[in-house]
Chains A and B, each alone.
Chain A
Amino acid sequence: MADLETPAERRRLFTLLSPAYLWLTVAVFLPLSAMLFFSFLTDMPQDAPDWGVTLGNYAEFLTNPTYATLLRKSLTLAFTVTGFCILIGYPCALVLAKSIKGRSREALFLMVILPFWSNSLVRIFSWAIVLRGNGVLERAVNWLLPFDVRLNLMFTTDAVVIGLVHSYLPYVILTSYLALQAVDDDLIDAARSMGASKLTILRRILLPLSLPGLLAGAVLVFVPVVGSFMEPRILGGRMGTYYGTVIEDQFVAVYNWPLGAALSFILLAVVIAILAAASPVLKRAQT
């Protein structure tokens, strides 16, 4: 940055960056700080004239064990979903980037991102049709197999995991694909010429070089899944109460915005702490 010393250059840099900073201020900083402010209130100012400032909403999280239970449940869900996304998404990206060439790659790529173009609610409702008792999946399985099968997947934790993995899989595939494509094919050829097995190439060359992309995808999946509420509510039935659904209830069912905001910021803090704990791994991946 030492070459940006002249005033003219600094001015140009400022003009070029200002739209981005303006956008960040308006779209991210202002709403978030409003929510942070609400999280310290006893009541919303427009509802109660006698509102005051309190830490009670944060204390509520510590005193009521329900929230900790649900947070643990949501984190487990997020780790499971992220794990499945990596297990399914990385091999897909590998095949797309290294084995398939030309037209068919474009076609397959389109199929990966196609679900992204439909509304997430529509996707979840389609899963509901597939998974429910006597639904598409159960009928197909029963048509293939001679004996009667009752899958009973709908309204279980499994259904929530299936729906979420399907929703967020494209993130992992896309980021891993970009990282894998950047790996020079000559490296692989060189390794092969020296007698490296396929597994060695994957372990010693492809995985380390594409790790930043894979981890970026994992983070992109993990963060929204921890706070998800719509998918668990529709697919999870009575098992579908998570941390996100409780926050939603505070906002829409009891109009307790301060508690909802406080719970959201606790979630944000936990997510940041997890990412910070993982940062040595992330950093090593980049070098």
Chain B
Amino acid sequence: MKSAFLLSLSAAALAASGALADEIRVLNWQGYGTDIDWAVKAFEEATGHTVVHEYFNSEQEMLTKMRTNPGAYDVVLVNAIYNPQATAEGLLSPIDPAGLENFVGIPAEFAGSAMLNEGGALHGVPWTWGVTSFAVNTQAFDTVPDTLEVLWDPAHEGRVSVRDDAVEAMQIGALATGQDINDIRDLEAVRAKLEALLPQLRTFWGSENDWNQFMAAGEFDVSTYWSGSAARSAAMGLPVEFVVPKEGAIGWLDSLAVPASSEHKEAALQFIDWMIDPEFYVGWDAEGAPASANGEAAAALDESAFNRRVLGDPEVAARVQFQAPIDDGTRREYLEIWQALKAVQ
């Protein structure tokens, strides 16, 4: 891995005095990009820093670990929904993008995300993103539809599926009724829309594995799905095509952040810079990666790659509505509506 970037990184590391051999500790989901062997090795060779990983199993656990172990982590994966809370609690350190060589490739809608810029300063580097929308069985369609209304199409009655999740269902309903997913004003319209959707359903799906089995058995024509999972299902040979319809889709964004208590901030930023490097991303995408938040990284992919063809299109990205934090009260209200609809089936 002798690239221009890594060489320049090593040169920078050599020039910096006294920061030669830091051990940086990364807190992330297991198997989620930062702990790929070849990438870590290349980084360690280029900079002299060593990388140690620790894992969490839920976002709550990630926050708890940062709160209770100050100084233990240097790079933490924080979903954008949790950035405002973590920043407000003083857990995250502000990041100066000028120190990141690859930051220029990140488009303004990610870099300027209100969730990452709590208090006016950047507290997390946009890293990966994905969308919840729907996928179709290409054998059931002559042309791939471009509208969410296909879920309500009587021609596919009994061949439709959604995930049994109140928040996701309500947000799909909000998109279909032309509303903001983070501020659903007309709940009655969403309720009525979902009421009309339920008779269309074959069943609910729960996990990616579930979805693949139902699709392979030919139970679904069209079903809500996640972009990253759709890329994997297609790679497995299932006849599926992921659609970001004209009504929009639900987006999520993961960021890499530096805890305020980190003692190796310089080295942490070098690692983050490598993580948003197009060269790293091309290698990761070959092993199955979510979409990169760095536009240059997406552009570096092969033209047929899912993350470039579907999500790399700026017009598609512009249609995505990014999920904001949801408070418990709203969550309960959504669940009540969803349960009431399911109860009368």
A residues adjacent to B (C-beta < 8 A): 64-66, 69-70, 73, 132-134, 154-155, 233, 237-241, 246, 249, 253-254, 256
Task: Count A-B contacts at CB 8 Å.
Answer: 52
Q: Which of B204, B218, B331, B332 contacts A238 (CB 8 A)?
A: B204
Inter-chain CA distance A52–B153, complex, in Å, is: 48
Q: Is the CB of B340 within 8 A of A66?
A: yes
Q: Which of A66, A132, A155, A254 contacts B343 (CB 8 A)?
A: A66
The smallest beta-carbon distance between A16 and chain B, in angstroms, is 45
Q: Is the CB of A238 within 8 A of B203?
A: yes
Q: Is B165 an interface residue (CB 8 A)?
A: yes
Question: Chain B: how many interface residues by the 8 Å CB criterion?
Answer: 22
> Which B residues lie within 8 Å of A241 (CB)?
339, 342-343, 345
Q: Is the CB of B217 within 8 A of A132?
A: yes
Q: Is B219 an interface residue (CB 8 A)?
A: yes
Q: A238-B342, A241-B339, A249-B339 are in contact. Are A254 and B203 (CB under 8 A)?
A: no
Q: Is B41 an interface residue (CB 8 A)?
A: no
> Which A residues lie within 8 Å of B201 (CB)?
237-238
Q: Which of A64, A133, A238 contacts B219 (CB 8 A)?
A: A133
Inter-chain CA distance A64–B333, complex, in Å, is: 12
Q: Which of B198, B203, B219, B335 contacts A249 (CB 8 A)?
A: B335
The smallest beta-carbon distance between A266 and chain B, in angstroms, is 15
Please encode chain B, from 307 to 341, with 1 for each CB lying within 8 Å of some chain A CB and 0 for all others: 00000000000000000000010011001100110
Q: Is B286 an interface residue (CB 8 A)?
A: no
Q: Which of A69, A155, A233, A237 contacts B344 (CB 8 A)?
A: A69
Q: Is the CB of B203 within 8 A of A155?
A: yes
Q: A69-B343, A70-B343, A132-B219 are in contact. Are A237 and B332 (CB under 8 A)?
A: no
Inter-chain CA distance A254–B336, complex, in Å, is: 11
> Which A residues lie within 8 Å of B198 (CB)?
238
Centre residue among A73, A154, A237, A239 by max chain B CB count within 10 A:
A237
Q: Is the CB of B336 within 8 A of A64?
A: yes
> Which A residues lie within 8 Å of B345 (CB)?
238-239, 241
The smallest beta-carbon distance between A261 and chain B, in angstroms, is 15
Q: A237-B204, A253-B335 are in contact. Are A73 and B342 (CB under 8 A)?
A: no
Q: Is B299 an interface residue (CB 8 A)?
A: no
B residues adjacent to A (C-beta < 8 A): 164-166, 198, 201-204, 217-219, 328, 331-332, 335-336, 339-340, 342-345
> Which A residues lie within 8 Å of B202 (CB)?
155, 237-238
Q: What are 8 pairs between A and B in contact, CB < 8 Å? A: A70-B343, A154-B203, A238-B204, A238-B342, A240-B203, A241-B345, A254-B331, A256-B332
Inter-chain CA distance A109–B331, complex, in Å, is: 50
Inter-chain CA distance A137–B61, complex, in Å, is: 46
The 10 A-B pairs of least Cβ separation, nearest first, read A237-B203, A241-B342, A66-B340, A238-B201, A155-B203, A66-B343, A70-B343, A69-B343, A239-B345, A254-B335
Inter-chain CA distance A239–B343, complex, in Å, is: 8
> Which B residues lie within 8 Å of A238 (CB)?
198, 201-204, 342, 345
Inter-chain CA distance A237–B200, complex, in Å, is: 12
Inter-chain CA distance A239–B332, complex, in Å, is: 22
Centre residue among B164, B203, B336, B345 by max chain A CB count within 10 A:
B203
Centre residue among A69, A73, A238 by max chain B CB count within 10 A:
A238
The smallest beta-carbon distance between B200 and chain A, in angstroms, is 9
Q: Which of A65, A70, A254 contacts B332 (CB 8 A)?
A: A254
> Which B residues lie within 8 Å of A233 (CB)?
164
- Nearest residue in A to B328 (C-beta to C-beta)? A254
Inter-chain CA distance A256–B340, complex, in Å, is: 17
Inter-chain CA distance A73–B335, complex, in Å, is: 19
Inter-chain CA distance A134–B218, complex, in Å, is: 10
Inter-chain CA distance A133–B159, complex, in Å, is: 12
> Which B residues lie within 8 Å of A253 (CB)?
165-166, 335
> Which B residues lie within 8 Å of A64 (CB)?
336, 340
> Which A residues lie within 8 Å of B332 (CB)?
254, 256
The smallest beta-carbon distance between B304 and chain A, in angstroms, is 33
Other contacts beyond A70-B343, A132-B217: 20, CB < 8 A: A64-B340, A65-B340, A66-B336, A66-B339, A66-B343, A132-B219, A133-B218, A155-B202, A233-B164, A238-B198, A238-B203, A238-B204, A238-B345, A241-B343, A249-B335, A253-B165, A253-B335, A254-B328, A254-B331, A254-B332
- Nearest residue in B to A65 (C-beta to C-beta)? B340
